[in-house]
A and B are shown apart, each in its own frame.
Chain A
């Protein structure tokens, strides 16, 4: 059983909802990323989403864009993200890692070579924002070849017939994008989310994670009422950024702490969800 299916099966048995933090690999610094990932797990993360920095992150709002820029300025590359996952795996062989990024760095690396490197490093699944089903065959095939999951996105604009074709191809879990817009934008409408999740559930038994627009314990709690897992990214990065700019002389671990505290409060929010 893969780490992902194991994790979601365990959550189901225990009647819990999953919490999935997103951070950009290499932000605030490449040296601190592995430490940050472990700290997020300790704070209650069930799955980790690791962003691969890209020069033109077209689906990101300003907060995550800046994270990508900072990481690239510090010399991050796709290979270094893979190396970080390997190091993380030396101490944690249980928490699933989902890589999230854009097509070009992966295409440049080579799809087959990338899939093999992911498997070796201990990555479990991949979300490529700009590879919709129409363009995903190559990477999907390469990932399947090494037993990894390509994660498909469904958005509020996805027509029902298309949802059907997407879930038929999906593995691991479904990622429902809760708002029309870029990461960190928009007003979350928990009722709309719950309707859409219910619609997707009629068509698949796969777990459904919901992301975009979830920023605190309250919104996490509201979404966890219908979803199997909630994803939070911009809010964590914004907290760390705020702390980093507070002007105090800080150790990086103190910056991480800003994200850890928010994640802990969201853990409590998710666990108190009425579902």
Chain B
């Protein structure tokens, strides 16, 4: 399906209506429309403003610690015996995941708009922590919406947010996970739209969010591209990233989209197996629909009701996905696959033991697929995996699954 793809195709999305092909858009209540228009206007004004870019780049360098290394996992590669595996170390960012790249960017927008209060939704708590962190730094009031179920399984991050001065609001509606936290954050935003900036944590939501989150996260791919050329002498043969809403994946993929030789794999949460229905893999087995302000692939029943999802990792436990991924799937540029809970857990242990790098459970899904992929490739080839976050937050979950009391 990749025919008729012109080089500037990827730069042409989203269009003026916020569309990626048939996906994306602004499916929100009228009350939010002018806030979205204001945000879009501000972003277009600042995007190409050198002063704004300098402010963003400086924060990424001195506060986040960028560039993050591109590390060759030589022992893991040897162990598998296929392609060389390189890890883009987003886990080494301040706060421990890629999420902070985006919250730094959006917090700058909030500052320019003069908003005194920020809100965020969070699943694994990484985006919540990253939002609470930038709020602390800028002296903004911060409230984070988190599903009751996720509060239970990400206790460490909940406490981190509180230490940072944020208020964590437990969401008890629906499935009590990320999707419901997003609903509740939207409800809060519609109520306090005058003084509040909503920091969305992934490339989902209404336009312009999928675009601006992508732009802020694309620093990952720009660095990885330059590092690959410098360290290996050529572009990677394949890129692999996990896909919850899709922000770390689009951040890595986007700067490579025009490089036809680079294959790309987005790894969704296969949960207990795609055949069981207990998973969070809308691109693998979902269908198009409208949720959280955009048209995208969703897990839904034949009546258009959104289904409950399951994943061992809270950050992937989401029934939708960013609209740009839906489009990249349809045009065939990116392959979307799934890794199950068990595979992710095995890869969590494997990377920890072989490389001394403990990945987040979300990231472990990408590792699980990368291991399989590498095995089918040759040592002359190399893969870049987005190591989107560190696994400290998941230690209690892993211990519980392994039957160990910490």
A positions within 8 Å CB-CB of B: 54-59, 61-62, 65, 69, 72, 77-79, 102-109, 129-132, 134-135, 152-159, 162, 177, 180-182, 185-186
Q: Would A104 and B289 count as touching, CB distance under 8 A?
A: yes
A72 → B minimal CB distance (Å): 6
B198 → A minimal CB distance (Å): 13
Task: Tell me whether A157 and B35 are in contact in the complex, defined as CB-CB below 8 angstroms, given that A59-B190, A107-B290 are known contacts.
Answer: yes
Q: Would A157 and B303 count as touching, CB distance under 8 A?
A: no
Assembled-state Cα–Cα distance A72/B300 (Å): 14
A112 → B minimal CB distance (Å): 15
| B226 neighbours in A (Cβ, 8 Å) | none
Q: Which residue of A lies closest to B32 (CB)?
A: A157
Q: Would A72 and B305 count as touching, CB distance under 8 A?
A: yes
B7-46 contact mask (Cβ, 8 Å, vs A): 1 or 0: 0000000000100000001111111111100000000000
User: Which of B173, B187, B191, B306 interacts with A104 by CB under 8 Å?
Assistant: B306
> Besides the contacts A56-B291, A153-B30, A157-B31, what 19 more A-B pairs have beta carbons closer than 8 Å?
A55-B174, A55-B305, A56-B180, A58-B29, A78-B303, A103-B290, A104-B305, A105-B305, A107-B289, A132-B28, A134-B17, A134-B26, A134-B33, A135-B26, A154-B30, A155-B30, A162-B34, A177-B31, A186-B191
| A56 neighbours in B (Cβ, 8 Å) | 174, 179-180, 183, 291-292, 306
B259-300 contact mask (Cβ, 8 Å, vs A): 1 or 0: 000000000000000000000000000000111110100101
Q: Would A132 and B304 count as touching, CB distance under 8 A?
A: no
Assembled-state Cα–Cα distance A109/B304 (Å): 8
The answer to the question of B136 belonging to the interface, with a C-beta cut-off of 8 Å to chain A, is no
Q: Would A108 and B30 count as touching, CB distance under 8 A?
A: no
A184 → B minimal CB distance (Å): 11
B positions within 8 Å CB-CB of A: 17, 25-35, 173-174, 179-180, 183, 186-187, 190-194, 289-293, 295, 298, 300, 302-306
> Would you give 21 A-B contacts (Cβ < 8 Å), ordered by A?
A58-B187, A65-B173, A69-B174, A77-B303, A103-B290, A104-B289, A106-B304, A108-B302, A108-B303, A130-B27, A130-B29, A132-B29, A132-B33, A135-B26, A135-B27, A152-B30, A154-B30, A155-B31, A162-B34, A180-B31, A180-B191
Q: Would A158 and B30 count as touching, CB distance under 8 A?
A: yes
| B173 neighbours in A (Cβ, 8 Å) | 62, 65, 69
| A57 neighbours in B (Cβ, 8 Å) | 183
A117 → B minimal CB distance (Å): 13
Task: Tell me whether A182 and B187 are in contact in the complex, defined as CB-CB below 8 angstroms, given that A105-B303, A130-B293 are known contacts.
Answer: yes
Q: Would A104 and B291 count as touching, CB distance under 8 A?
A: yes
| B192 neighbours in A (Cβ, 8 Å) | 180
| A105 neighbours in B (Cβ, 8 Å) | 303-305
Describe B's contact surface by its main secondary structure. mixed
Q: Would A61 and B187 count as touching, CB distance under 8 A?
A: yes
| B304 neighbours in A (Cβ, 8 Å) | 54, 78, 104-109
Question: Shortest 6 CB-CB distances between A and B: which pairs?
Answer: A108-B304, A105-B304, A181-B191, A155-B31, A77-B303, A103-B290
A6 → B minimal CB distance (Å): 27
Q: Would B193 and A180 count as touching, CB distance under 8 A?
A: yes
Assembled-state Cα–Cα distance A162/B32 (Å): 13
A208 → B minimal CB distance (Å): 14
| B26 neighbours in A (Cβ, 8 Å) | 132, 134-135
B394 → A minimal CB distance (Å): 27
Assembled-state Cα–Cα distance A77/B292 (Å): 20
A111 → B minimal CB distance (Å): 12
A45 → B minimal CB distance (Å): 24
| A69 neighbours in B (Cβ, 8 Å) | 173-174
Assembled-state Cα–Cα distance A54/B290 (Å): 12
Assembled-state Cα–Cα distance A79/B173 (Å): 25
Q: Would A58 and B183 count as touching, CB distance under 8 A?
A: yes
Assembled-state Cα–Cα distance A177/B193 (Å): 15
Assembled-state Cα–Cα distance A192/B205 (Å): 30
Assembled-state Cα–Cα distance A106/B300 (Å): 13
Q: Would A54 and B305 count as touching, CB distance under 8 A?
A: yes
User: Which of B186, B194, B289 interacts with A58 by CB under 8 Å?
Assistant: B186
Query: Which of B29, B173, B291 has most chain A Cβ within 10 Å?
Result: B29
